[in-house]
């Protein structure tokens, strides 16, 4: 019951996303009356669940780097803040971005818990807020030209065109719903991943549902409920409030925003582009609202249609206000949950620049002379610690971020029971498992030292030179290392470095 209570805010956010964002994949289809709302809702719900469960892990990683909410009550509060903000915007009939809401709420948690916001991840996410509608608009124009050319060549009968358009809207709507689930489930349940309450579940020995997949499945079901119960009003704003569109442009709009969401969600596409030396799209949760509005504007500008700029202004204002509002709401809710209900919304993270950290920094070419005096002290305020590193230690922002990563204290213990019962030996290679077993009983106060010990035990745990060819291999290896870091972490932090074996 406690788990369900804490997850309820994520489910509420999923419902809000279904009421607002998920309907966008069928907004123009319903707005042009080519597809009934009930049909659109059924198809959308089914494919959102499939996309979230099968392909939802990619975009969640970037949110985790932005701010790793490390307590279940904190995850509950962050999701609740984003959900309340999204619901409020939905009541105003504005197609708001849940991506922006959850990002704003996470930053609110970072401020409250004195955690450092990863500016590189934030910049990447904010750039996609600009790129998403522009890419969607460009794709929409290209598709519209192609489809119009195909129609002019084949000259289908009006009834044939109508039937083909309806079928096409259903097909691209299903594709868009799958992409939406894969991309935006990170908004709904991503904050719960670091403190995920579910364990892997074997289904009749046929396949295994990971804890993350179970988490995403619940969130996707909540999205489906939101689609059915509260999405019609936003569909009408998107489908007809901004600009009037006919059925064929409606098909193009849905397909364009579906492709846009897929570009930012597909790990398979990223692997393919990287393996051929091509630039990749960042795997981040983007807004279906921004994508569909971008596609509508692209078609409208191309056709010279009359755009209702007052509606566009309201939508743009909602996009700008959403992250700020969510951040403020999150901060005050965290204070309330922490002090009134006495729930732990964040766990204290300790940092210490000890001898092994200084040695590793020197090995990586960082000037450590100004850091020696920090050695005995333990810091619990990451923001102040980073500021001291840059002011007192004379480090640049990139170097101070590296110190934060290396100086973070914790306790990792390689326990034989965990190796025997919990390690996924199907995912890890035989050599990687053997290397892990060789460390049985050893303890580490720093995660990077655990990773280094694995690399010393087997070359299969060593990262390759950072080239385009090795990019995907290193990315998969980092996922495995992060997995082991979660698996072997002991809750109680070790305060005595003498207990560390390596």
| Residue 203 DSSP SS3 | strand
Please write down the long-range contacts of 209-216, taking CB distance under 8 Å and 24 or more positions apart: 209/53, 212/56, 212/57, 212/60, 213/53, 213/56, 215/7, 215/189, 216/52, 216/53, 216/56, 216/57, 216/185, 216/188, 216/189
Residue 350 placed within a domain? no
Q: Is 58 in the same domain as 98?
A: yes
Cα 49 to chain centroid, rounded: 16
Residue 370 placed within a domain? yes
Q: Is 48 in the same domain as 68?
A: yes
Q: Is the pLDDT of residue 495 over 60?
A: no
Q: Is the pLDDT of residue 494 over 50?
A: no
Band of pLDDT at residue 327, cut at 50, 70 and 90: very high
pLDDT for 338: 95
Residue 347 placed within a domain? no
Integer Cα distance of 223 and 285 in angstroms = 15
Integer Cα distance of 484 and 138 in angstroms = 42
Band of pLDDT at residue 1, cut at 50, 70 and 90: low
* Higher per-residue confidence, 190 vs 233: 190
Band of pLDDT at residue 438, cut at 50, 70 and 90: very high
In this structure, are residues 393 and 400 in contact, taking their beta carbons and an 8 Å threshold? yes
Residue that finishes a domain, picked among 305, 339, 373: 339
Q: What is the average pLDDT across 341-353?
A: 92
Band of pLDDT at residue 237, cut at 50, 70 and 90: low
* Higher per-residue confidence, 284 vs 413: 413
Q: Is the pLDDT of residue 220 over 70?
A: yes
Q: Is the pLDDT of residue 340 over 90?
A: yes
Q: Is 421 in the same domain as 333?
A: no
Tokens 């106060």, residue located: 445
Q: Is 192 in the same domain as 270?
A: yes
Calculate ∠ Cα 299-301-306, nearest 5°. 100
Residue 225 placed within a domain? yes
Q: Is 25 in the same domain as 100?
A: yes
Give percent above pLDDT 70 in the chain: 90
- Short-list 263, 41, 292, CA closest to 170: 41
Q: Is 164 in the same domain as 215?
A: yes
* Higher per-residue confidence, 65 vs 275: 65
pTM for this one? 0.82
Q: What is the average pLDDT across 180-193?
A: 86
Q: What is the average pLDDT across 138-150?
A: 94
Q: Is the pLDDT of residue 3 over 80?
A: no
Which of 39-53, 223-237, 479-493 ranks highest by mean pLDDT? 39-53
What range defines the domain where residue 387 resides? 355-407
Band of pLDDT at residue 57, cut at 50, 70 and 90: low
Into how many domains does the chain fold? 3
Q: Is 229 in the same domain as 376?
A: no
Cβ-based neighbours of 475, under 8 Å, separated by 6 or more: none
* Higher per-residue confidence, 139 vs 5: 139
| Residue 93 DSSP SS3 | coil
**CB-based burial label for 205 (10 Å; 0-12, 13-18, 19+):** exposed
Residue 344 placed within a domain? no
> In the chain, what's the furthest Cα-to-Cα distance?
82
Q: Is the pLDDT of residue 488 over 90?
A: yes
Residue 377 placed within a domain? yes
Q: Is the pLDDT of residue 93 over 60?
A: yes
Which residues are paired to 122 by β-bridges? Answer: none
Residue 349 placed within a domain? no
Q: What is the average pLDDT across 197-212?
A: 72
pLDDT for 468: 65
Tokens 């939905």, residue located: 90
Q: Annotate 319-383 with DSSP letters as a single string.
A: HHHHHHHHHHHHHHHHHHHHHTS----S----B---HHHHHHHHHTT---GGGGGGTT--B--HH
Q: Is 130 in the same domain as 203?
A: yes
Q: Is 382 in the same domain as 449?
A: no
Q: Is the pLDDT of residue 241 over 60?
A: no
Residue that finishes a domain, picked among 293, 311, 339: 339
Q: Is the pLDDT of residue 64 over 80?
A: no
- Short-list 285, 287, 286, CA closest to 95: 287
Q: Is the pLDDT of residue 90 over 80?
A: no
pLDDT for 311: 73
Residue 285 placed within a domain? yes
Q: Is 206 in the same domain as 169?
A: yes
Which residues are paired to 443 by β-bridges? Answer: 413
Q: Is 153 in the same domain as 11?
A: yes
pLDDT for 500: 43
Integer Cα distance of 318 and 225 in angstroms = 24
Q: Is the pLDDT of residue 73 over 50?
A: yes
Q: Is the pLDDT of residue 497 over 50?
A: no
Q: What's the mean pLDDT when you consider all of the chain?
A: 85
Residue that finishes a domain, picked among 311, 339, 367: 339
Q: Is the pLDDT of residue 337 over 90?
A: yes
Q: Within a 10 A sphere around the Cβ of 333, how many other Cβ atoms?
A: 22
SS (H, E, C) 112-175: HCCCCCCHHHHHHHHHHHHHHHHHHHHHHHHHHHHHHHHHHHHCCCHHHHHHHHHHHHHHHHHH
Q: Is 115 in the same domain as 213?
A: yes
Q: Is the pLDDT of residue 75 over 70?
A: yes
């Amino acid at each position: 019951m406690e788990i369900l209570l804490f997850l309820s805010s994520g489910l509420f956010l999923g419902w809000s996303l279904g009421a607002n964002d998920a309907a966008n994949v069928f907004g123009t289809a319903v707005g042009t009356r080519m597809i009934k709302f009930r049909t659109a809702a059924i198809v959308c719900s089914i494919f959102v669940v499939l996309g979230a469960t099968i392909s939802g892990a990619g975009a969640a990683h970037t949110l985790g780097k932005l701010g790793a909410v490390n307590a279940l009550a904190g995850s509950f509060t962050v999701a609740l803040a984003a959900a309340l903000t999204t619901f409020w915007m939905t009541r105003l009939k504005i197609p708001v971005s849940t991506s922006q809401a959850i990002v704003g709420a996470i930053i609110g948690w970072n401020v409250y818990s004195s955690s450092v916001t990863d500016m590189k991840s934030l910049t990447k996410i904010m750039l996609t807020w600009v790129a998403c509608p522009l890419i969607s608009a460009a794709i929409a124009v290209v598709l519209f030209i192609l489809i119009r050319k195909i129609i002019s060549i084949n000259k289908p009968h009006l009834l044939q065109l109508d039937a083909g358009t309806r079928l096409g809207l259903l097909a691209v709507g299903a594709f868009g719903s799958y992409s939406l689930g894969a991309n935006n489930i990170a908004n709904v349940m991503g904050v719960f991943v670091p403190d995920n309450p579910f364990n892997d579940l074997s289904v009749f020995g046929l396949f295994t549902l990971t804890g993350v997949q179970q988490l995403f499945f619940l969130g996707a079901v909540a999205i489906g409920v939101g689609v059915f119960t509260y999405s019609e009003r936003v569909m009408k704003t998107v489908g007809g409030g901004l600009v009037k569109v006919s059925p064929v442009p409606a098909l193009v709009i849905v397909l364009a925003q579906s492709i846009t969401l897929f570009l930012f969600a597909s790990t398979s596409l990223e692997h393919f582009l990287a393996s051929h030396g091509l630039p990749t799209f960042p795997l981040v949760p983007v807004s279906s609202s921004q994508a569909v509005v971008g596609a509508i504007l692209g078609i409208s500008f191309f056709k010279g249609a009359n755009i209702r700029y007052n509606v566009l202004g309201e939508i743009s204002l909602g996009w700008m206000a959403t992250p700020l509002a969510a951040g403020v709401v999150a901060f005050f809710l965290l204070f309330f949950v922490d002090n009134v209900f006495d729930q732990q919304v964040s766990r204290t993270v300790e940092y210490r620049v000890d001898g092994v950290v200084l040695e590793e920094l020197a090995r990586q070419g960082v000037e450590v002379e100004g850091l020696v005096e920090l050695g005995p002290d333990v810091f619990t305020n990451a923001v102040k610690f980073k500021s001291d590193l840059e002011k007192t230690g004379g480090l640049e922002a990139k170097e101070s971020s590296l110190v934060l990563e290396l100086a973070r204290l914790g306790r990792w213990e390689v326990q034989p029971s965990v190796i025997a019962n919990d390690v996924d030996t199907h995912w890890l290679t035989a050599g990687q498992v053997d290397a892990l077993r060789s460390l049985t009983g050893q303890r580490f106060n720093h995660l990077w030292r655990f990773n280094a010990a694995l690399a010393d035990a087997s070359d299969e745990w060593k990262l390759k030179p950072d080239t385009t060819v090795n990019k995907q291999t290193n990315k998969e290896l980092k996922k495995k290392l992060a997995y082991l870091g979660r698996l072997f972490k002991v809750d109680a932090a070790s305060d005595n470095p003498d207990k560390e074996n390596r």
